[in-house]
Amino acid sequence: MKNIIQIILLFLLSVNCVFAQADKEKTYTKQIDITELFLLALTTTDTILVFDNYDITNKLSGDLSVDDYLKEKHSDIIKLDTADRIIVKPGIKIKNSKLNSVFIEGICFQKFLEILDCRLNGDPNYGDFQLLNCYLKLLKLNHTKGDYSTFLYGCDIKNIDSSDYTCSILWVLYCNFDHMRFKELNCSTRMLIEGCNFYLPIYDDYYKKLKFDENFEIEPYNREIFVSTVYISGMNSKINNLKITKCTFHSGDKVGVYKRMIKMLVTMSEFELIDNVFELPLNLCGSIIKTNATITGNTFNDYIGLAGMVIPANLKSNWQQFDGYKLASMNKVRIWESLAGKTIRTLGSSNLYLGKNKKELADNERFYDLISSYQSLFNRFKARGDVESANACYVEMKDVYMRKLEYMYQQNKTFRNFFAWQLATLLKVYTKHGTDPARAIVMSMYIILFFGIFYFFFPSDWNIFNKNAFLSRFEKLVSYFENDTRLHNLESDSEIRKTLQDFKQLMAEKRENIPSVVYLLSKPLFKVDLFVQKLYVKIINMFDLVPRKYTELSKKRRILVNIMYGSAIVFVLCFLFFVRLLNAITLSVNVFTTLGFGNIPTKGFARYVAIFQGFIGWFLLSLFSVALINQVLF
């Protein structure tokens, strides 16, 4: 059995080699130079020219291009467009032929250029096939193979349609397109699209003729169905390196009932999407990137689909370009078409899933497809160590998931669903879904300040200076202005002096009954207190501007007294306000962090508020701890 399998494999290998050699050595019955081909196109009256089984050569030497040659040798038969390109009226179809280093420059193809089942021969330096500064209404590259590079440079191409095209490198540089379609594209080295603009037609003849069955309802999710303006797809498409950079994809208008989009469904080793502007959706759903991916500096003004996309571990990107709920799931929908009342075929187009309305949220499968897009990016950002992008991606993913929780509560109003929804909301507000412990600290400070202001208006054991004490001091101040009382007498100076005299007398009377060391120590204590009291009186008297009754003062002295004592009263009031506020905030901090050590100094209704604040503090500080640990262990 083993020998039979080996014989079969050897036979298949031999057949493959024979066919490959036959393809390489195929002979062509006719031969034509590229200049002769265009001379024929300029002089013919046919609308379409077909070149079948030709060996097409390029005998121009040096840097002489086709358009320069025609302008120099046949200026009498050529016509130029506004961009100084030679106008070619008939459509040109080249099939079953070999093109040898065919470089076409400065030609305006008013109909189309089609290359079908052809072989491209060239050299590694200049490539197989080049289109430079040309205008094409339609370019078709189908079932054609080349060993080296294909160049499209500075061209205006309304529509490019390619299927089963093989080359080493495909260069698309500084071109303008309306529609690009590559199916089963094989680039063994890379595909580069740089500096291009993609414009969209307002209408297409095909969609003008399109009619739907009367019973068909175009409302899959959000009334928007998309067809591709840039299409690179096919299960057999293999691109080693795809690079799209500095391109602008313009949105245009709807095509009939459709909106335009960019679709890429390919398998590639490396993918680079750098510094582009997308004004229409980009669909990468289902694409496979094996080794490296770079997505940086892009501006997505519409949605981007990543569901089912295999993103490599080596992803160089950042979240900023995706921010703003731009991720979407894009599925195919099949639409039955009717022409002349008869259903003839189906059309695969795409619709957006954003996870916003009830109809979308009811679709669990597509909802989790959308969530998987966020999860894939989050994992890549986290693996790369980009904490900021990973956190921002995670926050938006949880925001989307909150819509699902709200929908679940609306469908089944249970306490469990309600608290699941509200806890998610609390986590968003307090810690940005566990990604920002600093935000939790700021929010806690706001809560502490709010309750502190509340406690300010309620009595507390910590407020030693109450309203009655303040009024008593104010009465003494009024008495000071009415009488000849000195300022230091307001502070009970006589009582303090009496206390010191009584202490001195007591020590003298009890001297024989107490240890001598106690008596000796009492003297310096007495003298220090007496010195402090005298110094205090002297300082107070320095500010005593009313040595007699206020009514007996001069006008200037009254003005000075008003200014000085008015400022002193305002200062005292501000100080008392500050102390009371400080006590209130300290109480709030104490209650929020420790539940008051089990002792709540406030009274009345404020006591119950303090208990409630303590519960809030216990719960929120637990969330803060989780968020902090989550970021420490990131």
Render pLDDT for 440-480 as a digit per residue (tens, 0 to 9): 999 999 999 999 999 888 877 777 666 666 666 666 666 66
Residue 150 CA to residue 153 CA, distance in Å, equals 10
Report the pLDDT averaged over residues 625-634. 82
The residue count of the chain comes to 634
The position carrying tokens 């054609």 is 144
DSSP letter, residue 85: P
Residue 132 CA to residue 149 CA, distance in Å, equals 14
Two tokens, residue 129? 């096939």
pLDDT band at 550 (very low <50, low <70, confident <90, very high): low
Two tokens, residue 339? 């022409």
Per residue in 227-277, pLDDT (tens digit) is: 556 767 654 566 788 888 998 888 765 544 456 778 887 788 889 999 999
pTM: 0.71
Handedness of CA 429, 432, 433, 437 (dihedral sign): negative
pLDDT band at 540 (very low <50, low <70, confident <90, very high): low
Per residue in 50-92, pLDDT (tens digit) is: 999 999 998 887 678 889 999 988 888 999 999 999 999 999 9
DSSP letter, residue 55: E
Residue 600 CA to residue 617 CA, distance in Å, equals 15
Per-residue burial over 46-68, b = 16 or more CB atoms within 10 Å of its CB, e = otherwise: eeebebeebbbbbebeeeebbbe
Two tokens, residue 514? 């107490």
Per-residue burial over 6-26, b = 16 or more CB atoms within 10 Å of its CB, e = otherwise: eeeeeeeeeeeeeeeeeeeee
Q: Exposed, middle or buried: residue 288 (CB in 10 Å: 0-12, 13-18, 19+)?
A: middle
Residue 370 CA to residue 322 CA, distance in Å, equals 14
SS (H, E, C) 275-333: CCEECCCEECCCCEEEEEEEEECCEECCCEECCCCECCCEEEECCCCCCCCCEEEEEEE
Report the pLDDT averaged over residues 131-140. 94
